[in-house]
Amino acid sequence: MPLSVKRPGRWTLRALLPWLVGILPMLLGLLILNWQAHRELAARAQSTAAQAVEHIDWIVSNLAGAAHSLLPLAGEPCDNAQLPLREVVTRTSFVRSTNLFSNDNLYCSSLFGPYSEPVKTDEYVDGTLRLMDGNSVTPGHALLVYLERNGKHGALTTADGDHLVTALRLIGSNTRLVLQVGPRWMGEDGQVHNDALPAFAEASMQLSSTNYPYSINSGFAAGSAWHLMQSEYPAMLGLLVFIGVIAGTACRWQLRRASSSRAELQRAIEADEFIPYYQPVVRDGDFRWAGAEVLMRWQHPREGMVRPDLFIPYAEHSGQIVAMTRRLMQRVAADLAPHAERFVDGFHIGVNITADHCQDPQLYDDCRTFLAQFPPGRVILTLELTERKLIEASQATDLLFDKLHQLGVMIAIDDFGTGQSSLSYLRQFKVDYLKIDQSFVAMIGVDALSLHILDSIITLSGKLGLGIVAEGVETVEQRDYLAARQVNFQQGYLFARPMPISDFLSATSP
């Protein structure tokens, strides 16, 4: 509402709300992005592990092929076998050395020829694969050894750990990979360990080879999901901040508007700044004053006299209109009751009522209190309900309208023709008057279609036995047109403008 008085701010829930409204979409968005990033990491961990398994399977298959081709030589004297052992090393990728053993004793090696060293066959996982932390030639340097046996004889082939390290490092650059063979494991640093596997903070998973007895563990370091979000979704993060700021600002703006309007209206109610203006309604025939419509004005300390369409919508929205109308009716009674003898019996006083007010059972008491201040029958109170915001029929409203009718209060449908009230509606609420909207009156002599509607409304009200009031009458032509159709009452600038009580009383003084 563009009429507001600033008040000192307080750090209340209202002040916190815009922050909450701003932060909430950001948090939600971050959660979704974080979930998306974790899914992405899991997919990457899976595909990287699959690539690593494929590559290491290839290395091991070379070891296995070499061992298998040498198996027939196992048990043969080393002098005969030495050359084929070296040939296989030369011909087969990844193979660093080949060896033959018999009775768990390595007796022939491609490197040294005849040799003797115990073979710990029980340390081979599934009897075929072993990850070693070096041997006598290269102590502390990882080796992968493949064993194939035929009874007590067998062949051993080894691959240099550097091939494994290269695979672990190069495949999936950001993914952490670990090769696990039985109880031993090796990371990207090439060191062989015999203890518990390292746990990866994010997207940790294990993939076992289907061909050989080893597995690859993959995962990511802590904070990888956040890094991924920063590097891959910067636009989304920016958008989240943008949405958060917009939502927070919009909420703050809306709250400020609502709270300042409400506070300002409350202040004005307490200061009794809403006053009635009166616009006469003239009767058919002699056009003498037969009543008046009460129109609210705001006597604002700084803005002067404020039109109702600038503040009524806010008052309706905040529910304060009920209190304002109640106070207005008290003022009208106080204005007019002392001069009741000036009015003809049955002088109509129209008061505008909003739909919400009809849900308030106290409306009945307000009307009774109002009428009690006049001699019986002197005034007829008419409640004007705008057709644009008609109330829902319910048992409570039925009852209220019945009681109002018993009290002698009449019901008029205001702005008739602009909404869609049905005949059943008019009957249900036992409406007494239709107030033709001024837009139709303005079309007299201008627009044939609107005139047609106007004529239909007049005919309809006649058939339904409803009284009819035409508002917004500004010209003699309009007045005469309506008079020719026996419209019961007319209201408009032609007869009088809305006026303060002093003017109204002086115009009615005998």
Tell the smallest beta-carbon distance from residue 415 to Ca ion (Å): 4
Residue at 452: amino acid letter: H
264 part of the interface to Ca ion, by CB under 5 A: no
472 part of the interface to ligand C2E, by CB under 6 A: yes
387 part of the interface to Ca ion, by CB under 5 A: no
CA distance 123 to 129: 8
Among 325, 382, 421, 488, binds ligand C2E (CB under 6 A): 325
Instruction: Compare residues 209 and 418 and give the one whose CB is closer to ligand C2E.
Output: 418
Q: How far is CA 377 from the centre of its chain?
A: 57
Instruction: Compare residues 142 and 328 and give the one whose CB is closer to ligand C2E.
Output: 328
175 binds, among ligand C2E, Ca ion, none (CB under 5 to 8 A by kind): none
Q: What does DSSP assign to residue 99?
A: E
Size of the site for ligand C2E (CB under 6 A): 25
Among 19, 35, 242, 493, binds ligand C2E (CB under 6 A): 493
Stretch that binds ligand C2E, among 96-104, 112-120, 447-455, 492-500 (CB under 6 A): 492-500
Tell the smallest beta-carbon distance from residue 12 to ligand C2E (Å): 31
Q: Are 50 and 214 in contact (CB under 8 A)?
A: no
Among 42, 474, 485, 501, binds ligand C2E (CB under 6 A): 474
Q: What is the DSSP string of 179-224?
A: EEETTEEE-TT--EE-SPPPPPSEEEEEEE-SSSS-EEEEEE-TTH
Residues 281-310, interacting with ligand C2E (CB under 6 A): 295-296, 307-309
Instruction: Compare residues 279 and 382 and give the one whose CB is closer to ligand C2E.
Output: 279
Which of 118, 112, 123 shows the shortest CA–CA distance to 86? 112
CA distance 74 to 155: 6
CA distance 481 to 490: 11
Q: What does DSSP assign to residue 178?
A: E
Tell the smallest beta-carbon distance from residue 388 to ligand C2E (Å): 9
Q: Phi and psi for 133 in degrees, rounded to 5?
A: -90, 55
Among 52, 155, 321, 458, binds ligand C2E (CB under 6 A): 321
Q: Give the alpha-carbon dihedral of 331, 336, 337, 343, to 10 degrees.
A: -160
Residues 434-463, interacting with ligand C2E (CB under 6 A): 438
Tell the smallest beta-carbon distance from residue 320 to ligand C2E (Å): 11
Tell the smallest beta-carbon distance from residue 254 to ligand C2E (Å): 23
388 part of the interface to ligand C2E, by CB under 6 A: no
Which residues touch 155 (CB under 8 Å, ≥6 apart)? 66, 67, 68, 70, 71, 73, 74, 98, 99, 100, 101, 147, 148, 149
Kindly list the residues in this chain that would bind ligand C2E in the complex (CB under 6 A): 279, 295-296, 307-309, 312, 321, 325, 328, 352, 354, 384, 386, 414-415, 438, 471-474, 491-493, 498
